[in-house]
Amino acid sequence: MNLSSIRNFSIIAHIDHGKSTLADRLLEKTNSMPKKKMAEEQVLDQMDLERERGITIKSHPVRMYYILNDREYELHLIDTPGHVDFSYEVSRSLAACEGALLVVDATQGIEAQTLANYNLALENGLVLIPVINKIDLPGSEIERVKMQLIDTLGFSEDEILLVSAKEGIGIDELLEAIITRIPPPRGSTEKSLEALIFDAYFDSYRGVVVYTRIFNGSVRKGTKIMMMSNRGVYEVDEVGYFSFGLHPTETLDAGEVGYIIANIKNVKDAQVGDTITDADSPVEHPLPGFKRIKPMVFCGLFPQESNGYQDLRDSLEKLQLNDPALVFEPENSEALGPGFRCGFLGTLHMEIVEERLEREYGVKLIATAPNVVYKVYTKDGRLIEINNPSQFPYYSEVEKVEEPYVRVSIISPSEFIGPVMELCLGKRGVLIDMNYIDPIKVVFTYELPLSEVMFDFFDKLKSVTRGYASLDYEPIGFRESDLVKLDILVKGEPVDALSIIVHRDESEKRAREIVKKLRALIPRQLFEIPIQASVNGKIIARENIPPIKKNVLQKCYGGDVTRKKKLLEKQKEGKKRLKQIGQVEVPQEAFLAILKSE
């Protein structure tokens, strides 16, 4: 197709602002949706998890055709994941487009991810079309949301489109705006091949299916292509476009979005953001913006049954085929036995992987408390990157410790300014900026340690703002902090899976909370169980679980008092021996209790 008739665009929005429903209406209006899919909602969200949580986890591009003024246009909708954990994938999807629809809920207004996505789109030089969705709802405040878009993001009133994705209102006007406002792609088929990978998945029969946008040149079956990050060379088996499945074509030309299958065996060889070029006449420089995905959050995953180790390994390997951001390595815990140390992009990514392992592969898991990567500088000049508290060196060896920080944007109703600031202060936050979007909404910018945001920050934020606040964050690098390792001892034995790294000022408070919770969760035994928390070998908190007392005098009816004393002495001796050899089982809830602070 002629370049002037192609439009590549994306839909960006805060969670639950109607992005997937709007995509459904566009597909219906352009007759791109198969009849059997018509009754379904959110057809581009194919996982049950995506539908349940109302978020897009895996992006699904689709090609549509629309006729305007007797001319046919080819529209490529590149769907993007809808959560902060996947912001790099979102940025690469946006880099494959020339424009984007910025969708805002008429009842909610601008939220934290609206701002984050807006800035991401501007960085990629996209033309933005502001869309106010859900105008049919009785609680919609169209004029107030319009003023937010005009005052905060600088749009003019005539740019803003009003739609109801559920009722199908304003969809024709939206399609017309996509064609008239978003510029056609630039590029030439005469130049050497230059294509961006914005996603990929593994097909067990055909290898890796690469989602790509062609910027220059063309690719067809038989073309020898090269990945610029690892110099891997492959021969193309098939090219085509997406429209509820893979549709093979002769060629993919400059400006088009489609897929390439080239017998690539591993998703890691087709990394998101990498540039594909012609192996025989490669381009000099790759497309800008590529970076290797690094996990930010780590936790230990262990099978509940000791014989489930191999099943867990197989399941992780299968999952990793479609999720290159997931990394894992074997780990052995004294308390939990053999398992894996897994790295994730963020806490949502971690939850999704755990849920998929349990649902799709039937693996029963025990997950340890998540933690971030710390940089430990030792006194002998070494730098150790640790993602597991058990790797933390002895205190006497440590020169300084650095932890990752994030810049957090919080949008909240102005009546909750006090509680939000108090929460952030309690989480070691530094206020950078505070602005009013309109008289009733405030945007805060804070810098916070990632470890504080990761635990239960979002739950607490929702709680102090009665569910009205929204949150977005981006990494800003490492900073020095006074951190210590908090060890938990059950019956005098350290339980490595319960160890955490905390700020020194918080250590005593956290220690008291944890031992208190463990006292309630660990079942009583026939002997007393001390639960202790220590920092650098010094006990800073302790709770005792009292023993269950068996009534040994029950069978003793009548008789001399010395007989009773004899039985009680015998019981005392037995308890002493039990205390030495008795084992304490730490239940799964205990590991989850570490995640929640009071």
322: part of which helix (H) or strand (E)?
Answer: helix 309-322
Half-sphere exposure of 107 (CA within 13 A, CB side): 11
In angstroms, the CA 357 to CA 215 distance is 37
Q: At what angle do helices 112-123 and 87-95 cross, to 10 degrees?
A: 40
The residue among 583 and 460 whose pLDDT is bigger is 460
Q: Which amino acid is at 22?
A: L
- Chain mean position to CA 85: 3
Tokens (6 digits) for 56:
């897009």
CA distance 514 to 447: 27
**Quick one: pLDDT band at residue 584, thresholds 50, 70, 90?**
low
> Which two three-digit tokens encode residue 428?
């070691």
Residue 265: pLDDT over 60: yes
Cβ atoms within 10 Å of 226's Cβ, excluding its own = 18
Query: If you average pLDDT over residues 358-365, what whole number do you get?
Result: 83
What share of the chain has pLDDT > 70, as a percent?
89
Cβ atoms of 81 and 57 within 8 Å: the answer is yes
pLDDT at 127: 92
In this prediction, residue 410 has a pLDDT band, given cuts at 50, 70 and 90, of confident
Q: Which of 9, 33, 8 has the alpha carbon at shortest distance from 21?
A: 33
Q: Answer yes or no: is pLDDT of 41 > 60.
A: no
Asked if pLDDT for residue 588 goes beyond 70, the answer is no
Distance, in Å, from the CA atom of 403 to the CA atom of 504, rounded to the nearest integer, reads 13
**pLDDT tens-place string over residues 461-476:** 878 887 777 777 878 8
Say yes or no to pLDDT of 550 above 80: no
CA 237 to chain centre: 33
Pick the most confident of 14-28, 169-183, 198-212, 563-577.
Answer: 169-183
pLDDT value at residue 595: 53
* 37 has a pLDDT exceeding 60: no
pLDDT band at 333 (very low <50, low <70, confident <90, very high): confident
Q: Residue 88: pLDDT band by 50, 70, 90 thresholds? A: confident
97-151 confidence digits (pLDDT tens): 899 999 998 888 888 778 878 888 888 888 999 999 888 888 888 888 898 888 8
DSSP string of 522-569?
A: SPP-SS-EEEEEEETTEEEEEEEEPPPPP-TTTT--SS-HHHHHHHHH
* Mean pLDDT, rounded, of the chain: 81
Chain-centroid distance, C-alpha 382: 31
Cα–Cα distance between 507 and 488 in angstroms, integer?
12
Q: Which of 331-335, 344-348, 413-417 has the lowest mean pLDDT?
A: 331-335
At 214-233, the pLDDT tens digits run 998 888 888 888 888 888 88
**CA–CA separation, 159 vs 190, rounded Å?**
36
Measure the CA–CA gap between 7 and 175, rounded to whole angstroms.
Answer: 11
- Mean pLDDT for 507-529 is 83
Rounded to a whole number, what is the distance in angstroms from the first to the last CA of the chain? Answer: 60
Band of residue 35 on the pLDDT scale cut at 50, 70, 90? low
pLDDT tens string 371-390: 788 888 988 888 888 877 88
Map residue 115 onto helix, strand or coil. Answer: helix
